[in-house]
Structure 1
Amino acid sequence: MASFLSRVDNNPSSVFIHHSKIEEHIPMHCHDKHQMSYVEGGVAFLNTKKKSYFFPARHFIWIPAGREHNVTSRTSVKMVHNIYFPKTLIPTNHKLQKHGGIFPVTNLLMEMIYYTENWNGDINKLQKKSNYEFMLALKNIVLDVAETPLPVVLPTTENEILRPILKYIHQNIEKPLNLEGIAYEFGQSSRTLSRLFQKNMEMSFLQYVKLTRIIKSMELLLQSELSITQIAFSCGYNSLSAFSYAFQQIVHRSPINFRKQNR
Structure 2
Amino acid sequence: MIKELSFLEKVNQYPKTTYIYHTKIEERLAMHSHNKHQLTYVEGGVAYLKTNDNSYFLPARHYVWIPAGMEHFIELKTPISIIRNIYIPTHILNSNEFYSKMGIYPASNLIMEMILFTENWSENIFKKEKSKYQYIKTLGTIIAEISKNPLPVVLPTTTNERLSPILKHIHLHLDQPLLLKEVAQLFGFSSRSLSRLFRDTLDISFLQYVKLTRIIRSMEKLLQTEMSISEIAYVSGYNSPATFSNTFYNLVKLRPVDFRKINREISE
Query: Partner of 1:28 in structure 2?
Result: 31
The letter of the residue matching 1:26 is L
The letter of the residue matching 2:131 is S
Query: Partner of 2:15 in structure 1?
Result: 12
1:139 Cα deviation after fit: 1.7
* Deviations, residues 90-109 of structure 1 (Å, cap 9, x unaligned): 322x2233211101101121
Preserved contact between residue 90 and residue 96 of structure 1 (Cα < 8 Å): no
1:137 Cα deviation after fit: 2.2
Query: Partner of 1:182 in structure 2?
Result: 183
Query: Partner of 1:137 in structure 2?
Result: 138
1:185 Cα deviation after fit: 1.1
Query: Partner of 1:74 in structure 2?
Result: 77
Q: Residues 48-59 of structure 1: matches in 2 within 5 Å? A: 48-59=51-62
The letter of the residue matching 1:163 is S
Tell me the SS of whatever aligns to 2:227. Answer: coil
Aligned mate of 1:101, from 100, 103, 106: 103
The letter of the residue matching 2:34 is H
Preserved contact between residue 62 and residue 96 of structure 1 (Cα < 8 Å): no
Unaligned runs of 5+ in 1: none
Query: Partner of 1:37 in structure 2?
Result: 40
Preserved contact between residue 29 and residue 68 of structure 1 (Cα < 8 Å): yes
Q: Which moved more, 1:10-19 or 1:72-81?
A: 10-19
Tell me the SS of whatever aligns to 1:161. Answer: coil
* Deviations, residues 37-62 of structure 1 (Å, cap 9, x unaligned): 00011221111000111110100001
Unaligned runs of 5+ in 2: none
Q: Size of the alignment, in residue pairs?
A: 260
Task: Supply the distance in 1 between the matched residues of 2:92 and 2:102 (Cα, whole angstroms).
Answer: 16
Task: Supply the distance in 1 between the matched residues of 2:202 and 2:138 (Cα, whole angstroms).
Answer: 39
Q: How high is the sequence identity, in percent, across the aligned residues?
A: 52
The letter of the residue matching 1:73 is L
Task: Supply the distance in 2 between the matched residues of 1:160 and 1:117 (Cα, whole angstroms).
Answer: 43
Task: Supply the distance in 2 between the matched residues of 1:47 and 1:90 (Cα, whole angstroms).
Answer: 25
Aligned mate of 1:90, from 71, 88, 93: 93
Q: Which moved more, 1:233-242 or 1:39-48?
A: 39-48
Tell me the SS of whatever aligns to 2:60. Answer: coil
Q: Which moved more, 1:103-112 or 1:231-240?
A: 103-112
Preserved contact between residue 50 and residue 155 of structure 1 (Cα < 8 Å): yes
Query: Partner of 1:114 in structure 2?
Result: 116
1:7 Cα deviation after fit: 1.5
The letter of the residue matching 1:16 is Y
Task: Supply the distance in 2 between the matched residues of 1:16 and 1:63 (Cα, whole angstroms).
Answer: 14
Preserved contact between residue 104 and residue 145 of structure 1 (Cα < 8 Å): no
Tell me the SS of whatever aligns to 1:154. Answer: strand
1:180 Cα deviation after fit: 0.7
1:144 Cα deviation after fit: 1.9
1:136 Cα deviation after fit: 2.1
Considering only aligned residues, what root-mean-square deviation do their CA atoms show, in Å? 1.2
Q: Which moved more, 1:27-36 or 1:114-123?
A: 114-123
Task: Supply the distance in 2 between the matched residues of 1:90 and 1:212 (Cα, whole angstroms).
Answer: 35
Preserved contact between residue 27 and residue 70 of structure 1 (Cα < 8 Å): yes
Task: Supply the distance in 2 between the matched residues of 1:89 and 1:237 (Cα, whole angstroms).
Answer: 48
Tell me the SS of whatever aligns to 2:12. Answer: coil
Tell me the SS of whatever aligns to 1:8. Answer: helix
Query: Partner of 2:125 in structure 1?
Result: 123
Preserved contact between residue 105 and residue 147 of structure 2 (Cα < 8 Å): yes
Preserved contact between residue 99 and residue 144 of structure 2 (Cα < 8 Å): no
Task: Supply the distance in 2 between the matched residues of 1:131 and 1:165 (Cα, whole angstroms).
Answer: 49
TM value normalised by structure 1: 0.96
Query: Partner of 2:214 in structure 1?
Result: 213
Displacement over 3 Å in runs of 4+ = none
1:253 partnered with 2:244: no
1:146 partnered with 2:147: yes
